[in-house]
Structure formats: C-alpha cells, structure tokens
Amino acid sequence: MNQNKVSVRCLLLAAYFGPLPDFIPFWAKSCLPNRANFKWLLYTDQVRERTELNSAVELIPYSLAQMRAELSALLGQLIPECTTRKVCDLRMLLYRLRKAPDRLGDWDFFGYVDVDMVYGNLLAALPDDLPRYTVVGAHPNRPTGPFTLIRADCADAMLAIPKLRNAMARAEYLNFDESPDLAAGLAAKGPAWLSADRLQPSRNGVLRKELCFGDWNQGVLTVSDGTRTEPAGFFHCGKLKGRRTFRIHRAAAARDRWVISRDGIYCPTHPPFRLGLRRWLRTFISQHERPQTY
C-alpha cells in the first residue's frame, strides 16, 4: 500500500436532526476498525454536549436552525427555512462552518457522509495516490451523497463555486451533494477520483444492484449479488430501508457479523434473515435470465 495513503487523515461529517435511527449502532461499530485514518462527527439535535459513541465516532450538539444561521453569515445570503431533507445539500459546508468553533484541527481530507450505511476497509478501497485528488466519490462520474471526500485545501474554494452558492439559497433539496459541478468547480486545484469499483461495488455496473446484499464480518465488508462477491468500502442502505420488509435486528449490533439486505440488518443465523434470504433467492431466480439494467 502506498505510504502516502497510509498516513492520510480524514474527518467525515454527518448531520441528522430528529430521533436517531436504529441503524446508528451498526454504522458506528463499522467506523471503529477504520479509526487509524478516519474520524466521524455526527451533528445532531439529540444530545446536549459532545458525546463519544466509540473512539471513532463523536456526537456534536447542533440544530438545523443553527446551521442555517451560520451558513447565512458565511455566504452573506439568506438560507431559507427548509426541511431536514435539504440538510444533504447544506452539510457540504459543515467542515468550513465548524472547523474553528469545534476546534476540528487539521486533516488531509474532510467529507460528508450518510449514516444509513456500514463500512468495510475504507483505506483499502481508496486510490493509492489519494493525496493528489480534490474530490473522491463512489460513482463513475460524480460525487456521492453517502460518501464524498474533499481535500482539505479546497474548503475555501468551495465557497467560490456559483452553482453551489445558488443551491444553498434554495429551500428545496437540489441533490447538489451528488452534482458533477462540485468536481468541476474544484478542477483547477486538481483532478477528481470518481469510481464505484472499490468503494461501492453494488453500483459498479457489474453486480446487479437490485439483488445486492452486504456481509460485514469483524470489519471486513463484502457485497454480493448471489453470483459474484466483491470487497467493499461501504454498503449504503439507501432506499432499501423504505421497503415494507426492511427490519433491523437490534441485538445483532453486539455480534461480530451481520448481513445487510433488502430485508434489513440481521445476524446470518437469525430466523428473520433466513426468511428474507428465501424471498431474495426467489427474486434472484425469477430475474436471473432478464437483461441487466443500471
């Protein structure tokens, strides 16, 4: 492994307002094996003081109203009232907003991430020449909402991207956290690395994403569609968690291994997972001969 990558330090920022969801214990536990190079801060209105979940994850008291007020001051423009969905756009500037007040220190990269996901070996999934890139995303041609890294020396340059400023000024969520305009706006400072292959193989165009499930085993994450298995930097629940069949077996978080599928998060031996796997296998068999769509 490239020595420059081994020494890289990354600060990953998430924002979640409202009651914290049941998958937080799984997310936080999967962060832990990555703590040598990564630190996570979750900004939330569910705590009154800084709270450490483990040595990799810390909760920071914060509110959407405070975020809007601070962004308005930083950008010199009104950030309108909005729903929590808009936070996915606003969080892009969270590092720039909170670096001084929260004494975040110096990092090589900062990033914005979701919490409805689990991590594998993140460092192994990143490019060996990581320090040369301004933006790192887990999609072939754009940044990704669940996980995007930005080189720390680009924090101020982000403020000069006109489309980003315009997106912040709109009340509706514009999906700018996944816009190619972010990488284009920072192109003068260096190239972007945009690839799903190692970070998010469920979106690599080879695995059938509608059939993918993740297997987390003591910090090692693999993703499979039933015919092919790939090591992964992360698995994002995304729309799966909105399915009627999606259930979280909370006790599984204390175990060393769990599976994340369209039916929820379970221990591999837990009865609900076995039932879910049978449903998944029926789907796989019925769709196996159909043309792939992405």
How far apart CA 187 and CA 157 sit, in angstroms, is: 10
Q: What is the pLDDT of residue 293?
A: 41
Q: What is the pLDDT of residue 286?
A: 55
What pTM did the predictor assign? 0.90
Q: What is the pLDDT of residue 291?
A: 43
Q: Which residues partner with 118 through β-bridges?
A: 235
CA 210 to chain CA mean position, Å = 19
User: Could you give the domains of the chain?
Assistant: 3-194 (3.90.550), 204-287 (no CATH)
Q: What is the pLDDT of residue 57?
A: 98
How far apart CA 27 and CA 127 sit, in angstroms, is: 23
pLDDT of the chain, 294 residues: tens digit per residue: 667 788 999 999 999 999 999 999 999 999 999 999 999 999 999 999 999 999 999 999 999 999 999 999 999 999 999 999 999 999 999 999 999 999 998 999 999 999 999 999 999 999 999 999 999 999 999 999 999 999 999 999 999 999 999 999 999 999 999 999 999 999 999 999 999 999 999 999 999 988 899 999 999 999 999 899 999 999 999 888 888 888 899 999 999 999 998 889 988 876 555 555 555 555 555 554 444 443
Q: What is the pLDDT of residue 284?
A: 53
Q: What is the pLDDT of residue 263?
A: 85
